Amino acid sequence: MFKPSPYHPRFIQIATCLGFVLVLIDVSVVNVALEALRTAFHADLTGLQWVVNAYALVFAALLLMAGALGDRLGAKRVFMAGFAIFTLASVGCGAASGLPSLIAWRLVQGLGAALLVPNSLSLLRQAFHDDQQRSRAIGWWGAGGGIALAAGPVIGGLLISALGWRSIFLINLPVGLIGLWMTYRYAPASPTQAGRSLDMPGQMTGALTLATFTFALTQASSLGWQSPVIVGALLLSILLGSLFIWLEARHPSPMLPLALFHDAAVSSATVIGLIVNLVFYGMVFSFSLFFQSVQHRTPQQTGLAFLPMMAILMVMNIIAGRLVSRIGTRWLAVTGLLISAIGYLLMLPALAAQSYLPLVLPMLLAGSGIALTIPTITHATLAAVPNTQAGIASGLLNAARQVGGVIGVAVFGFFVRQGETTLFMHGMHLALYTAVALLLTGAAVGLGGFKRHQQIPSL
């Protein structure tokens, strides 16, 4: 076995990017595979939503604990555990014999993803001490996610056409093994906080709150919002959420320190992160169904259709990493949200044209705006907290983003639940109007929450 080599920040950066790539590629790839999964398992819309949301649910529910666990045991150790779990679960997904089995392995994938993401940011923070270098490293980290989102639909479409849907999960095996090896060999041991509490009561109530909330939103597509089951689940999630806040306010070392929200930058970034993912993942799910069910595109053609929106993410993430220290968080975040809102608004007349070409510019704008926003709010969050809270702060931001993704897939999926084309397109229009309204709300939050001339200070 190789012995760990001396500290090497660039290889650490590559390893963290590979981890983030794995986490996000399984979002974009699964969306391209929706029709293949519907055919293979005779799945209904609710079943397809669970394939997407089972992963996002566990991811969101465990992110805060994963950040605290990294602070307690060391980011390197927890990051490697996440890599190993995610890789193993990907093999399980590829071997699934039915929809319940696939959903179960997607839950395990969510655990691995939760361990990977906040600790990848902690490793970057430890590896790069210079502010400018750190900004660029986080920009490339975000670009890795952009690459995953851009390449995922295209590669996934090619793999599904050539080898079947199972191959989109099995492709994670070599990537995961490479990432594990690079982290083990090049990343130094991370500092630990042996006395850091994991706050299991808070973790359990928080996870149950998200689980009941996700169940209600997802099952509403088949049961309807007036179903006693849905109403009961929503009420239970409210009660559990209230209990979670009560427990965190009284715990001596809470999983989620409520004092974090006293900082306007952290609270604003958290709200914006939720909104951005709600819109983005909700619309990706809706457009995946539109391209495959309404326009009858193959998985490969669907992947190519998403290429403009996804590919621009990579470029704009890198640009954002360079601009954020010059322009400041307030104007870069607000500008990104407004650009994205304009893109989604322009999709309305583009859909009416009933051809693909008019969608290209709106998709570029929508992707560009989101790619400007995510690195900006990530920088703002990490800059607002001390080193000892880097893991929990990044976990909070990414948990909010994943909760947003769960809500987006559930709510926008409800909008487009009807198979008849006219009703489906009515749902698409409603989803787009909702997306624009939410992004404008996010811009207002950023305008009020970030300081006028706030630059990213040295961390």
pLDDT tens, residue by residue, 400-412: 887 888 888 888 9
- What pTM did the predictor assign? 0.77
Q: Is the pLDDT of residue 322 over 70?
A: no
What does the pLDDT average to over 434-442? 95
User: Is the torsion defined by CA of 257, 260, 266, 270 positive or negative?
Assistant: positive
pLDDT at 154: 80
Residue 1's pLDDT is what? Answer: 44
pLDDT of residue 458: 33
Determine the residue type at 363.
Answer: M
Report yes or no: 248 and 204 within 8 Å, Cβ to Cβ: no
pLDDT tens track for 286-319: 888 888 888 888 887 887 887 777 777 767 766 7
Q: Is pLDDT larger for residue 233 or for residue 161? A: 233
Query: Which tokens hold the place of 154?
Result: 């295209």
Closest residue by Cα to residue 394 from 373, 419, 375: 375
- The pLDDT assigned to 429 comes to 93
**Which of 137-151, 189-203, 222-236, 306-320 holds the top average pLDDT?**
222-236
The yes-or-no verdict on residue 455 having pLDDT over 80 is no
pLDDT at 356 over 80: yes
Which pLDDT belongs to residue 190?
66
Nearest in space to 335 (alpha carbons), one of 280, 395, 381, 375: 375
Q: Reply yes or no on whether the pLDDT at 21 is more than 80.
A: yes
Who has greater pLDDT, 70 or 233?
A: 233
Specify the higher pLDDT residue, 457 or 343: 343
pLDDT beyond 80 at 67: no
Q: What is the CATH number of domain 9-190+255-449?
A: 1.20.1250.20
- The token pair that represents 120 in the structure block: 């990848």
pLDDT above 80 (res 325): no
Closest by alpha carbon to 281, among 114, 438, 90?
A: 438
- pLDDT at 192 (0 to 100): 63
Listed range (187-196, 249-258, 328-337) with the worst mean pLDDT: 187-196
Geometric angle at alpha carbon 411, from 409 and 416, rounded to 5° = 85
Instruction: Indicate if the pLDDT at residue 195 is higher than 80.
Output: no
Both tokens assigned to 288: 């995946």
190 Cβ contact partners less than 8 Å away, ≥ 6 residues apart: 70, 74, 75, 76, 77, 122, 123, 126
* More confident site: 45 or 106: 106
Residue pair 152/142 in contact by the 8 Å Cβ criterion: no
Average pLDDT, the chain: 82
Residue 364's alpha-carbon distances to 58, 121, 273, 371, in angstroms, are 30, 27, 20, 10
